[in-house]
Amino acid sequence: MRRASILILTATIVLIMAGIFLTIFLTQSQESFQRNVFIETGGVTRSTLEFSVDKLVPGDQAEYSINMKTETGGSFRVVLDFVTVVDGELKNYVDVVISYGGEVVCEKSLADLLAADFAHAPIVNCDIESGEEVKINVTYKIDESHGNEMENTRIDFNIEFTANRMGVSDGQN
């Protein structure tokens, strides 16, 4: 009887510890998928968001949220320019979906997004209330039909984020 109690107590402690470690791991993983950008009230905000995709396998997907906030509300034109840092074959297997407010804004292959220049980069038009935080979600996924040809591949890239308050020139047009 005593042995069974010790066994149950040990199993309970192990399960609690596993739960704590899993919670810490998931919390840290979710935090790494967040990119925060504070939009300047003066009109144009630029930020470089660094990404590395190397652990996706066929059928997987990862979602990153770009959280935007501004002190004064307004309408913004947000350009997401994808720029290669370390080229890799993985770009040929990754599909990207960009959404805002529950609507899909852009759905293309990562290779196509990296090949586009600033003038052809995805654009998201956002209406942000004063103090409100809004999210642009960028989802990366690999179709289940891909197999071993993408094993041990990776791609490192930046998203050059530019938020331009409507009616204010960003100097790039």
Residue 88 CB neighbours (<10 A):
19
Start-to-end CA span in the chain (Å): 79
pLDDT of residue 81: 92
pLDDT of residue 100: 92
Distance of CA 113 to the CA centre of its chain: 14
Question: 24-78: per-residue pLDDT in tens?
Answer: 444 333 334 555 666 655 578 888 888 877 777 788 888 888 888 877 778 888 8
Of 78, 41, 43, 105, nearest in space to 163 by CA: 78
Using CA atoms, how far apart are residues 56 and 17, in angstroms rounded to an integer?
28
Pairing of strands 61-69, 34-38: parallel
Using CA atoms, how far apart are residues 160 and 172, in angstroms rounded to an integer?
13
Question: What's this model's pTM, rounded to 2 decimal places?
Answer: 0.71
Using CA atoms, how far apart are residues 132 and 113, in angstroms rounded to an integer?
29
Of 39, 16, 22, nearest in space to 129 by CA: 39
Pairing of strands 123-128, 74-86: antiparallel
Instruction: Extract the tokens encoding 55.
Output: 């652990």
Question: 109-159: per-residue pLDDT in tens?
Answer: 999 999 988 778 888 888 888 878 888 999 888 888 877 666 667 788 899
Using CA atoms, how far apart are residues 116 and 104, in angstroms rounded to an integer?
19
Residue 43 CB neighbours (<10 A):
16
Placement of tokens 């600033």 in the chain? 118
